Structure 1
Amino acid sequence: MDIFLVIGIITGLLAVVVGMIVKGANVAVLLNPAAAIIIIVGTSAAVMNSFPKNEFTNIPKVFKSLMRGKSKEDPVEIINQIVDMAQETRKNGLLSLEGKIHSIDNEFLKTGLEMVVDGVDPQHIAEVLEMEIESTEERHRGGALIFTTAGGAAPTLGVLGAVVGLIGALGNLNDTEKLGHMIAGAFVATLYGIFFGYVICHPFASRLKRKSLEEINVMRIITEGILDIQSGNNPKSIEKKLIGTLSPKQRQSIQSKGE
């Protein structure tokens, strides 16, 4: 689980609660089932109306990916793996990879190596892998767009919830004390909507986009590495080429390992 994400959510909640306490507002007013129903159900309806069923039902998987901490594919490990295979093929030929393919966990890397061992044309390999990358990008874009849509709908539904609450409050003008509580409760929906939209949904969309960039970067590293292995390029040259895609900290980890 991504603990940093959980900390961010908790920090956002604390900011609202502490802010209300400092301002002298009653925190108990946040316990408003009607406002929660309007925001949660209304936002869900907005997403349902924006996306087909298969994408909507895929939200739990997207959320699971969002909550996952460290990426399952480390680019440093992938590069080291590619360089080791390049050294192997320089000594024993491309067919020597056949026995190692089954032990590879990364399906994208496995697919590319299988085509290399089968003697598929390099251009065709590049086209197949690029299509897979584009498909993955589109799938990730759809997941992020769901949260972007929810983030845009929630604040507006918060205003709708406030209007609904004010309608109920205006129906009890004779009871002044009750009127004050109902007006305060009416604006809780707006608070819910803004919080849900700009502290939860939009940041979630941004995080998904970032995770997508990391995964796509690994896929492009694999593509370049596979084509270089097939071309018989020098392992050191392959390593120097691929580490150009890494951050300075990641590059140091490869260099220190090489030393």
Structure 2
Amino acid sequence: MIGLIGILIIFAMVFGGYLAAGGKLGIILKALPFEMMMIGGAAIGAFLISNDMSAIKHTAKDIGKVFKGPKWKPEDYRDLLCLLFELLRLARANPVGIEEHIETPEESSIFSKYKKILADKEAIALICDTMRSASMNYDDPHQVEDILEKRMEASMHHALHSSHALQTMADGLPALGIVAAVLGVIKTMASIDQPPEVLGKMIGGALVGTFLGVFLAYGLVGPFAGRVKAVVEEDGHFYQLIREVLVANLHNHATNICIEVGRQNTPSHYRPTFVDLEVALKEMKQEAA
């Protein structure tokens, strides 16, 4: 919703200000289809050249994040802490019994309680791989933390590719606007024998190219790239929480302490209160009983 409001404000302020100053939209609307064909087409073509099909699909999908916002909500962080608590408690009480849950999480009675988390392959893989390694006695907290950090850095780098691709497009749009404007000037020079009022409209149409390139770069595509990056980084906190809890577990802290470490390392706007988490854990224990 905020993204749509932002776009409306951009168009209202730019074109509203232009009209309030006495400008006329006629010349812009007349030149717009042709300028958009040159600038937009060239930008899309350059985007296709510089990215493979996987990156193109990823970017197209990530544009929706501008309007949807972060995937993980405060209640999801609470559910994640409850899930990890249940898994860690079982792993300590019954090391053999935990194997069926981490080997086939889609069939697990524990994971199935948290459908949204179960649907996220990265989160499930992070939990199961780390707990499987611990069950194989690969439980040096510092080494595991280092491996998890590198794994998460690689995932974040991949997730940010769409933001980088959009920002690269935004960086090129002003130059493509100049290209379209130069072509408009060439067209004008070829009609130099026309009266001033005709030449004036042709020059104005050529300048629409410069305007459009800069407007698209800094008014739309650049902010889209920035928003996608912000949302990806926000969602990254969810996976960092998994790392914090599982590493704390390898330090042999009590299960409650591990969960509290994760809770306190959650960003404040997503962090469940201590009381809310305690209530959720008690309800979970009652259901299990």
After TM superposition, is the score higher than 0.5? Answer: yes
- The residue number in structure 2 matching 1:133 is 152
Distance 1:30 1:256, change over 3 A: farther
Q: Give distance in 2, aligned partners of 1:86 and 1:49.
A: 47
Map of 1:51 onto structure 2:
51
| Aligned match of 1:122 | 139
Q: Distance in 2 between matches of 1:112 and 1:229?
A: 14
- CA shift, 1:222, in A, is 0.8
Residue identity in the other structure for 2:139: P
CA distance in 2, matches of 1:187, 1:76: 54
Distance 2:270 2:54 in 1: 37
Structure 1 residues 76 and 139, CA gap change in structure 2 (3 angstroms): same
CA contact (8 A) 1:154 1:197 kept: yes
The question of whether the paired residues in 2 share the 8 Å contact of 1:151 and 1:202 is answered with: yes
Equivalent in the alignment of 1:234: 254
Instruction: Please give the alpha-carbon distance, in whole angstroms, between the structure 1 residues aligned to 2:94 and 2:123.
Output: 18
* Number of the residue aligned with 2:197: 177
Q: Partners of 1:98 and 1:27 in 2: how far apart?
A: 67
Match of 2:282 in 1: none
Counterpart amino acid of residue 25 in structure 2: V
How does the TM-score come out when normalised to structure 1?
Answer: 0.84
Q: CA deviation at 1:12?
A: 1.0
In the alignment, does 2:171 pair up with 1:152?
yes
Q: How does 1:24-35 map to 2 (within 5 A)?
A: 24-31=22-29, 32-35=32-35
Rate the CA distance shift 1:99–1:52 in 2: closer, same or farther, 3 A. closer
Q: Which letter does structure 2 place at the counterpart of 1:248?
A: S
Question: Which deviates more from structure 2 when the two are superposed, residues 14-23 or residues 225-234?
Answer: 225-234
User: In the alignment, which residue of structure 2 is the partner of 1:75?
Assistant: 77
The match for 1:22 is 20
Return the alpha-carbon distance in structure 2 between the equivalents of residues 107 and 94 of structure 1.
23
State the shift of 1:79 in Å: 2.5
Q: Normalising to structure 2: TM-score of the pair?
A: 0.76
**Contact (CA 8 Å) 2:39, 2:213: kept in 1 or not?**
yes
Query: 1:73-101: CA deviations, max 9, x gaps?
Result: 633432333234334445x3344445653
Report the AA paired with residue 217 of structure 1.
H
> 1:37-58 CA distances to partner (integer Å, 9 max, x unpaired)?
1210111233234334543354
- Aligned-residue offset at 1:131: 4.5
1:115-143: per-residue Cα shift (whole Å, max 9, x none)? 42572313576566445323312212321
Helix, strand or coil at the partner of 2:214: helix
Worse-superposed segment, 110-119 or 167-176: 110-119
Alpha-carbon distance, 1:28 to partner = 2.9
Q: Residue 250 of structure 1 is aligned with which of 264, 267, 270?
A: 270
Distance 1:117 1:159, change over 3 A: closer
8 Å Cα contact 1:66-1:207 kept in structure 2: yes
Q: Which residue of 2 aligns with 1:93?
A: 94
Q: Is there any run of 5+ residues in structure 1 with no aligned partner, and where?
A: none
Aligned 8 A contact 1:148 1:205 in 2 = yes
Match for residue 163 of structure 1 among 182, 187, 194: 182
Farther off after superposition, 146-155 or 43-52: 43-52
Q: Distance in 2 between matches of 1:89 and 1:105?
A: 22
Alpha-carbon displacement from aligned partner over 1:22-74 (angstroms, at most 9, x marks no partner) = 11111233322111012101112332343345433543223234443341463
Partner SS for 2:160: helix
Partner of 2:61: 61
The SS at the match of 2:273 is helix
Cα separation, 1, equivalents of 2:145 and 2:265? 18
Other-structure match for 2:11: 13
Segments of 5+ residues of structure 2 without an aligned counterpart are 107-111, 113-117, 280-289
